Copies of this chain bind each other. A is one copy, B any other.
Amino acid sequence: MPTIICKTGKIPPKPPQKLTRGAQRREAILDSALRIICSEGIQNLTTRKAAEGAGITEGALYRHFSGKGEMLRCLVERLAEGSRIEKDGSTGWAGIEAFLRVRVKRVIREPELAKILFSEFMFTNEPACEDLMFQLMHRNLEELSVYFEQAQKAGELRDDIPPKTLFRLIFGPIRLVIQQWGLTEGSFPLEEEADRIIQTLKSILKSP
């Protein structure tokens, strides 16, 4: 239901679909929970803090989520969907670049994300989040694999490296630079550094 393929190739900044008042509160709670995880760690996320950060009391939180577990699952879901939405129509190497840049731009827009977007293990122990994390990782591999094939057919990418290895060679550096940026609270120009990585990857991975 949330997968919106944009045929025009543009990124709709905000889906025009208005949130009901109830859904707005849910979002506020999830925002609050995310903020707490990023600033205090998942081990310090409590229902009380999440509720208070959203301007309601602990008890009221249970009107919106069946419990802490569901809240976390929804948070991870939202996290996972986030990057998928903004796909444009690029293909081949341009598709790869778009995939990477979407993630970079997302953490620049929401800097707290830098800290947790690739901390998959953190959610691994929350029952019902584990599967989601796997799916997310797998979806990324699948999406990129499509681009790999296109790029290889188009002669933009050498074809002697298996897709899984390509995935690690290409996504690994971007993940690391985003994690470093988050860890150091944005101490360097992320977009620039990411660009350098992407350009270098393009040049060293091009068909010889």
| A interface residues with partner B (beta carbon < 8 Å) | 39-45, 115-116, 119-122, 124-126, 133-134, 137, 161-162, 164-165, 168-169, 171-177, 179-180, 182-184, 193, 196-197, 200-201, 204-205
Contact = CB atoms under 8 A, between A and B. Distances in A.
Copies in the complex: 4
Contacts of A134: 183-184
A118 B173 CA distance: 13
Nearest to A123: B41
A22 to B, nearest CB: 15
22 contacts: A40-B125, A41-B42, A42-B122, A43-B45, A115-B121, A116-B121, A119-B119, A119-B122, A121-B182, A122-B122, A134-B183, A134-B184, A161-B200, A164-B193, A165-B197, A168-B176, A168-B177, A168-B197, A169-B169, A169-B197, A172-B173, A172-B175
A113 B161 CA distance: 28
Of A121, A133, A165, chain B has the most CB atoms within 10 Å of the CB of A121
